[in-house]
Amino acid sequence: MIQLLDVIQKQLNLKLPFVCYLKPNSFDWNLIVQHTDELVTFNGQKGFVFFPFEKGNKIVIPFKKDCFSSGSLAFSEDTILRKATYEFNNTEKEAFEKLVARGIESIEDGIFQKVVLSRKIVIKAFISEIATFKNLIFTYPNAFRYLFFHPKVGLWMGATPEQLIQINDSHFETVALAGTQLYSENITWSKKEVEEQQIVTDFIVQSIEGKVKHFEVSESNTVQAGNLAHIKSIISGELTNDYTPSEIVEDLHPTPAVCGLPKEESKAFILSNERYDRAYYTGFLGEWNMNKNTDLFVNLRCLQVEAHAVNIYVGCGITKDSNPEKEFFETENKSFTMRTILVNKKV
């Protein structure tokens, strides 16, 4: 672990791009570095892609054998977690609740069926990127964990529970993930939460049905993601020869789990009403055509590190049955995923 963290620290000191990532349920790490600060725009190259929600550079850190390394970590319980407490001011709360109310009003007016609304929580802090990433790795082993840096984009890290697509040769798999509660042993899902997850499932099915062979949708089940629980279904099949990974990503992104339904109407509402730039939050990231495999994840449960602040991004799905105050506290609960792992830098 020390050797890996030393390489990461060296790249940060040199202000050179890199990404370190670990796949769900694994402590095997992968590291791709660049030896120049060039911002490489994605054009089908093999490598690690980092895409925005809407506006921004579509980045790839190219895969080259001499720039790639991997290894395995031993599990460590040496984590330093902060206490999870609600930390907000009433101005933020009122603003988000008004945003949710506007979303519900638009649903009632028939403009869209669902919209995912989000906010950026700014925490004034001077954090240790390395210690925080170490916390993230061992605290959320079931998630896709990453640390991404580019001097022309910034530093992002996250622990996302949501797969966008996985393609091994021609086999295709994605998930419909929605509905959120604090995790407990005996969860009962509300009508609103079940409906929200079904909207995501139906969208994916309608987007790709007829374009994949041997199409299957699993039964929905409850999955744990850190301190939270979600409803999840797995959708799989075989890609036809004329349906490319680029086309399937274009069909699916952004899904109703991060945008809404219909896609264009809900996206237009988000861009007009959220009043901040999501940047790479609710975009996607992961391996593109590495060893004939593409393995992409939605960029959720993430944070962005700035000079003296940390930006934590959180959102929630809004339907006609949503309650603005409950949705606000759902975003607070989601923020604990990143808030609890922050480690201040020693001065």
Query: 85 in a domain, yes or no?
Result: no
* 216 within 8 A of 165, measured Cβ to Cβ: no
> What percent helix, strand, coil does the chain show, rounded to 5?
30, 35, 35
Query: 301 in a domain, yes or no?
Result: yes
Whole-structure pTM value: 0.93
Residue 300: its pLDDT value, please?
96
Chain segment 24-75, per-residue pLDDT in tens: 999 999 999 999 999 999 999 999 999 999 988 999 999 998 999 999 988 6
Query: 346 in a domain, yes or no?
Result: no
Residue 291: its pLDDT value, please?
81
Integer Cα distance of 101 and 95 in angstroms: 10
The 10 Å CB-count burial string (b at 16+, else e) for 149-160 is bbeebebbbbbb
Integer Cα distance of 76 and 180 in angstroms: 28
Query: 78 in a domain, yes or no?
Result: no
Query: 208 in a domain, yes or no?
Result: yes
Q: Domain holding 180: CATH number?
A: 3.60.120.10
Q: What is the domain range of residue 63?
A: 2-71+90-339
Residue 346: its pLDDT value, please?
66
77 falls in which pLDDT band (50, 70, 90)? low
Chain segment 233-248, per-residue pLDDT in tens: 999 999 888 888 899 9
Query: 134 in a domain, yes or no?
Result: yes
Query: 329 in a domain, yes or no?
Result: yes
Query: 97 in a domain, yes or no?
Result: yes
Residue 2: its pLDDT value, please?
64
Chain segment 208-232, per-residue pLDDT in tens: 888 888 889 999 999 998 888 999 9
Residue 347 has pLDDT above 60, yes or no: no
Q: How many residues does the chain have?
A: 347
Lowest mean pLDDT of 129-138, 235-244, 266-275, name the range. 235-244
**Total domain count, the chain:** 1
* 331 within 8 A of 323, measured Cβ to Cβ: no
Residue 133: its pLDDT value, please?
95
Residue range 257-276: average pLDDT?
96
Ramachandran bin of 345, using left for φ above 0, alpha for ψ from -120 to 50, beta for the remaining angles: beta
Distance of CA 43 to the CA centre of its chain: 22
